[in-house]
Structure 1
Amino acid sequence: MLSLVDLRTRIIAGTLDPAGAIRLAEAAIAARDPGIGAIVSRNPAPAIAGSGPLAGIAVGVKDIIDTADLPTQMGSPIYAGWQPKADAAIVARLRALGAVPLIKTTTSPFASHDPTATVNPRDPGHTPGGSSAGSAAAVAAGMVPLALGTQTGGSVIRPAAFCGVAAIKPSFRLLPTVGVKTFSWALDTVGLFGAGIRDIAQGLSLIADRPALDLDLDVAPQAPRIGLCLQGFADAPDADALAALTRAARAAEAAGARVVDLVLPSPLPEAWACHAIIQDYEARQALAWEYAHHRAQLSPELGAQLDAAQDLVAAQYDAARRSAHRARRVLKDLFGEFDAILTLSAPGRAPASLGTTGDARFNRLWTLMGVPCVTVPVPGDGLPLGVQVVARFGDDGRALAVAGMIERALAA
């Protein structure tokens, strides 16, 4: 994989210039993407900044995020060839830092559940996950060192685990969603994919203009209190996923963490069950024009999802929001006892099917709570596995620091 940290180090040292770094990405794209299908469109003659903290960093942009120089097609024939007039706020920020939004990456239609044609770089017979399929696959295949995704249920954390890369779903609204196609305004969160924890920490610290998010990794947290959480209300994971979680917990203990079992109290399980109501009630409104005028062109699963959402009523939505609010208060108190929660990123390895994006059941609660989540790849044989580090709302630096500690301990 291309490492953002490595490329920046070489550029700062003068052993690589920004144009050379972009050429490395372009060469990798030419070599790898024909067999993976992670890319929707590519800038054939990108403007390359000579300076800036992200000069020379090629970025993959999920194709629901507006770009002024490349089409934004939402993974749907409804928007085939559609060209925005302006960059999304997050893309504008990347350009201001010197980065090159080089490619648009595949997405499930409107960031829903239907799979793309993208394959998992680790094994083309397996899904890369979704809906940020192309972004996860492009980083895993070494095409770009940084990619943008979005998460409404589990669309950053899960594909990162399936493809064996690091990723962060930051605290809700830490990164702007202006210019990103809305599915659910209470849930949609822009996230980052990178080769390792330090890569996503540096990327996030620069994009969000919060240097401490990167500096927190320089000093290992002292004896962090970690709650080991199986999320029993979400049903059992595969044996391999459970083994990876246990291995990560033992690595954390070896690095000095205090790990104790955690069963999430009420009303957190009840809130988890409310996620779909909030998501679908808002999606019905966010995609009202597409549904009213182009129902026949909607993908099968999304079309059926919106059909069912027409029957939701405001009282259900309001009750679900109240449940989520109660759960957030309880979770805030829980983080008085724990520095982080360690849990599953996905139920198991990437499914052996391109007809699914996998199951987001271990991600939905944390998206609904708006808290930062980080996927840490767990080394091993076979297809990748990942674990998820969750921290208090707004404490993205701690989530990254604990994830970095576990990453280093697993590599030892």
Structure 2
Amino acid sequence: MMSQPNRLSLLEAASALSDGKLTAETLLASCLERISEREGDVGAWMHINADSAKAQASAPAAKTTTGPLSGLPIGIKDLIDTVDMPTGYGSPIYEGHQPAQDAACVATIRNAGGIVLGKTVSTEFAYFQPGKTANPNDLTRTPGGSSSGSAAAVADYHVPAALGTQTAGSIIRPASYCGVVGYKPSYGFLPLTGIRPLAPSMDHLGVMTRTVKDAGFLAAILGRRPELDISNQSGDFVPTIGFCQTPQWDAADATTQSLIEDAATRLGKAGAKVSNFTLPDIFATLASAHGIAMDYEVSFTGLYDVSNHPDQASAKFRERFDAGMNVLTSDYDKALDQAKLSRTALSDAMGDYDILICPSAPGEAPVGLNATGDPVFNRIWTFSGVPCINVPGLSGPNNMPVGLQVIGRFGDDARMLKAADWISRHL
């Protein structure tokens, strides 16, 4: 197992470090070796702080494993401020920009003993203009976005975990395309201080890992929410599952529809109660409401950049910015009201269901690196602020990953994580 420490999951690495079977220096060296081999092809990183990471790995603190993340290397999306590394927000406007302090999530990782290895590629301002990253499973395909580098770095065994953000589908979709776990907690569960805003009413911090338990473990530390750490919970939680096609079902390709339907059948045979679930009517237009609200808020968060550096903002970003400038405030307020009502309506409608399942994305990662795919299966959940997680394990016709998305009630993240862990073991 220790011949390739970079392939260990976060919890496996933490256990090996704690037991003395692995040193922080050996783990870091293995990760850096993998990055050296693959980064030229995958392009997951904007900046790697190897010297600082090596110094931290060899320090006495890394050998005593005093913190829950001691000696564990973690990637940080380049939308998130780091005091010792440039943070460019995926834009040439901020090339070389050096923040004055760490984001709260980065400070938390450091205080817990984690090694901040580097900055992973983000799309421009976490919107739709892609960066340089390719899908490690097939370099001709997109890794998804906007947390492109974080998903690719975890999938390609550069680091056991990385931070991402989601405003539409920026964690779930790249996790699905790259074949990793991507967890977007309930809105507000994890701190956004020090993260470049895109649309503040729907921006989420989340994590990319290799297992569901890894995701809960890391999120529990980031949010000081111990209930999210399900790694030591005993007993087998068998969930009651609602198979939710969503109003966007026709956007999934036929193979993905069959894969998700088959997964629902298999989970039922494994012991879960599975039945069809129809969303409340308010969800029928929630995706379009999300787009209206997102564009409107981008017209504020991007105002300085488009006003002062129009030639350095991409055409895709300027297009959405211009659309946002034309959104009526009354339409924006109506969209926010719909999001709030949808959260309550979903909680009421779920009744005895523990979680819902639906596709994470329309299918396998599309060929080409000039776009990051469609967040059509993510918008409604992001806007309503409910927790969701991509569970990998399915495979499409080109042998590329296809993710199953698990959704919970708002604030009911611990139950959703337990259900997703059960699903991951039975897929």
TM-score, with length taken from structure 2: 0.93
Q: Distance in 2 between matches of 1:244 and 1:202?
A: 29
Determine helix, strand or coil for the equivalent of 1:45.
helix
- Structure 2 match to 1:397: 414
- Alpha-carbon distance between aligned partners in 1 of 2:105 and 2:170, rounded to the nearest angstrom: 18
Partners of 2:264 and 2:215 in 1: how far apart?
22
8 Å contact 2:140–2:369 — kept in the other structure? yes
Which residue number in structure 1 is paired with residue 130 of structure 2?
Answer: 115
Whether the aligned pair in 1 keeps the contact of 2:251 and 2:376 (CA below 8 Å) is: no
Aligned pairs for 1:69-84 within 5 A: 69-84=84-99
Equivalent position of 2:402 in the other structure: 385
Q: Are 1:103 and 2:118 matched, yes or no? A: yes
State the secondary structure of the residue aligned to 2:85. coil
For 2:323 and 2:140, how far apart are their aligned partners in 1? 31
* Deviation of 1:224 (Å): 2.1
Q: 2: distance between equivalents of 1:314 and 1:400?
A: 37
Distance 1:18 1:367, change over 3 A: same
Larger mean CA deviation between 355-364 and 199-208 belongs to 199-208
Q: Which range moved further: 382-391 or 325-334?
A: 325-334
Matched residue type, 1:27: E
Q: Distance in 2 between matches of 1:334 and 1:100?
A: 43
Q: 2:3 aligns to what?
A: none
Shift of 1:257: 1.1
Distance 1:115 1:319 in 2: 31
- Report deviation, 1:303: 1.3
Secondary structure of 1:59's aligned partner: strand
Contact 1:43 / 1:102 at 8 angstroms: preserved in 2?
Answer: yes
What residue identity is the alignment partner of 2:383?
L
**Structure 2 CA distance for partners of 1:227 and 1:305, relative to 1, 3 Å:** same
CA distance in 2, matches of 1:329, 1:166: 27
SS at match of 1:67: coil
CA contact (8 A) 1:240 1:349 kept: no
Matched, 1:34 2:18: no
Q: Sequence identity, in percent? A: 40
Structure 1 residue 160 displacement after superposition? 0.2
Residues 1:22 and 2:28 are matched in the alignment:
yes
Which ranges in structure 2 are unaligned for 5 or more consecutive residues?
Answer: 1-6
Q: Report the counterpart of residue 366 of structure 2 in structure 1.
A: 351
- Three-state SS of the structure 1 residue aligned to 2:74 is strand
SS of 2:174's equivalent?
helix
How many Å apart are 1:398 and its aligned residue? 1.1
Query: Would you say the 8 A contact 1:229–1:261 is kept in 2?
Result: yes
The code of the aligned residue for 2:14 comes to: R
Following superposition, the deviation at residue 271 of structure 1 comes to 2.1
Distance 2:250 2:93 in 1: 37
What is the alpha-carbon distance in structure 1 between the residues aligned to residue 234 and residue 171 of structure 2?
Answer: 26
Residue 65 of structure 1 aligns to a residue in which SS? coil
* CA distance in 1 between partners of 2:231 and 2:112 (Å): 21
Give deviations 1:200-225, integer Å, cap 9, x for gaps.
12212222223332237734554422
Q: Alpha-carbon deviations, 1:286-331, whole Å to 9, x = none?
A: 1111111111110121111112211112111011111112212211
**How does the TM-score come out when normalised to structure 1?**
0.96
| 1:148-187 equivalences in 2 (<5 Å) | 148-187=163-202
Query: Distance between the aligned counterparts of 2:324 and 2:232, measured in 1?
Result: 43
Correspondence 1:7 to 2:22 = no
Alignment of 1:121-140 (within 5 A): 121-140=136-155
CA drift of 1:122 comes to: 0.1
Q: Which one-letter code corresponds to 1:391 in the other structure?
A: G
- Counterpart check, 1:199 vs 2:214: yes
Contact 2:184 2:389 in 1 (8 A): yes
Show the counterpart of 1:245: 260
Distance in 2 (CA, whole Å) between partners of 1:197 and 1:63 is 23
Question: Is the Cα contact below 8 Å between 2:392 and 2:402 reproduced in 1?
Answer: yes
Q: Is the 8 A contact 2:387 2:412 kept in 1?
A: yes
1:333 paired with 2:348, answer yes
Deviation readout 1:318-354 (Å, 9 max, x if unpaired): 1111111221221120232311000110000000111
CA-to-partner distance for each residue in 1:58-99, whole Å, 9 max, x for gaps?
111110100001000011110010000100000000001100
Distance 1:306 1:45, change over 3 A: same
CA displacement, residues 203-254 of structure 1 (integer Å, 9 cap, x when unaligned): 1222222333223773455442211011134533112211221232123213
1:24 is matched by which residue type in structure 2? S
Residue number among 11, 34, 51 corresponding to 1:45 in the alignment: 51
RMSD after superposition: 1.5
Quickly say closer, same or farther: Cα 1:344–1:217, change in 2 above 3 A. Answer: farther
Unaligned runs of 5+ in 1: none
Residue in 2 that maps onto 1:310: 325
Deviates more, 1:320-329 or 1:346-355: 320-329
Letter in 1 for 2:160: P
